Amino acid sequence: MKRSALTLAIGTLLAGSAYAQSSVTLYGIVDQSLRYTNNSNANNDSLYQLTNGAITNSRWGIKGSEALGNNLKAIFQLENGFDPDTGRANQGGRLFGRQAYVGLSGDFGTVKLGRQYTEGFTFFGDFDPLTIGNYTANAWPFFLTNFRNDNVVSYDGKFGGLNVGGSYGFGEKAGSFTSSQYYGFRAAYTVGPFGFGGVYQLTRDTAGNKQQMWGAAGKYSIGPAKIFLGYIGGLDRTGSVDASLNGDALAAGTANPVPTGNFAANPRKDITGYLGLTYQVTPALAMTGVFYGDHVQNTNGVSNNQGNRYTGVLLAEYSLSKRTQVYGTVDYNKLTGGTRTELPGKNNQTGVAAGIRHIF
């Protein structure tokens, strides 16, 4: 009887201790912007809209951890993306379309299982002056990263100034090991004010066609300024990059579909470079400017269909508090040759937006 009571007391104590070392956090961002865009359709009409954030997409999530001893923790994260102007869920209406994983974290690094960001998105999120924008007009260079993937096992490790990561996504199609497969690797090193690194990833569609992406980037901090320089290369046999950039207005089945060729035989080739600067004018005010340029071959799967895309972005962000910022931004895109199908009307487009972001 005494032994049973002692066992119960110890069990209760251990359970209480475990709960005390667990944490669950509800968090999110609500970001809305008023945006004007010219040449927004085939008639070159202007568009005025209330839309999601210019740089950060609105989201809410739950994340947590439990201490297991010996510096080992169980972790999880569930994250939903949404449009505040309509309440609609993003990522095709998924409940947790941005991230959904469980894993273990310790001295060895972190292992996660579930829907996660790709290695390309994680890498360039740290090395892009805009931390990868949210409008197509300021985020198109990073469509090659595919942003996130399903059924992924990933590893992330930090060793002094070195950060490495690798992930593998199961295609989960019986009889085909490579169908819908994904894998990627990245490495970055920070020493003093310098940071630099590289990334490679490969994604296959349901037919097994490859989309490859690779890149390298660096950044340098000097006083209140930070300078960014990067390169992104891509080879896409799936047609997904062209389809994403052409958008709904020029998709197959619409009034003005884009003529396409053989993507497997004539893969789209991207050579993208960028240069940017962020300057902390005051503790509350940050200014960012960035230029992106891309040379494309075999646009829309057509052999020797070449073109260029150039984009300039200016962003000013002012912090009203630690959680609330207001901002204004201007972006300008110009396209030549085969890439002109990425805009519905003229070969140039200007966007102007102002917004407010609240973080909780």
Give per-residue pLDDT as tens, 286-309. Answer: 999 999 999 999 999 999 999 999
Is 8 part of any domain?
A: no
Is 97 part of any domain?
A: yes
Q: Structural domain tally of the chain?
A: 1
Please give the mean pLDDT across all residues of the chain: 93
pLDDT of residue 13: 38
Q: How far apart are CA 180 and CA 73, in angstroms?
A: 31
pLDDT for residue 204 is more than 60: yes
Is 179 part of any domain?
A: yes
**Worst-scoring range by mean pLDDT, 225-229, 232-236, 254-258, 289-293?**
254-258
- Averaged pLDDT for residues 38-43: 94
Is 87 part of any domain?
A: yes
Is 187 part of any domain?
A: yes
**Worst-scoring range by mean pLDDT, 11-15, 209-213, 354-358?**
11-15
Here the CATH number for the domain that contains residue 38 is: 2.40.160.10
- Averaged pLDDT for residues 182-194: 98
- Averaged pLDDT for residues 223-243: 97
Is 12 part of any domain?
A: no
pLDDT for residue 247 is more than 80: no
Encode pLDDT of 79-131 as tens digits: 999 999 999 999 999 999 999 999 999 999 999 999 999 999 999 999 999 99
Is 7 part of any domain?
A: no
pLDDT of residue 9: 41
* CB-based contacts of 184, cutoff 8 Å, min separation 6: 118, 119, 120, 165, 166, 167, 199, 200, 201, 202
Q: What percent of the chain has pLDDT over 90?
A: 90
pLDDT of residue 10: 38
Domain of residue 329 covers 21-359
Task: Please report which confidence band the pLDDT of residue 7 belongs to, taking 50, 70 and 90 as the band edges.
Answer: very low
pLDDT of residue 21: 80
pLDDT of residue 255: 65
Encode pLDDT of 138-167 as tens digits: 999 999 999 999 999 999 999 999 999 999
Encode pLDDT of 316-360 as tens digits: 999 999 999 999 999 999 999 999 999 999 999 999 999 999 999
pLDDT for residue 228 is more than 50: yes
Is 11 part of any domain?
A: no
pLDDT for residue 217 is more than 80: yes
Task: Please report which confidence band the pLDDT of residue 12 belongs to, taking 50, 70 and 90 as the band edges.
Answer: very low
Task: Please report which confidence band the pLDDT of residue 248 belongs to, taking 50, 70 and 90 as the band edges.
Answer: low
Q: What percent of the chain has pLDDT over 70?
A: 92
pLDDT for residue 251 is more than 90: no
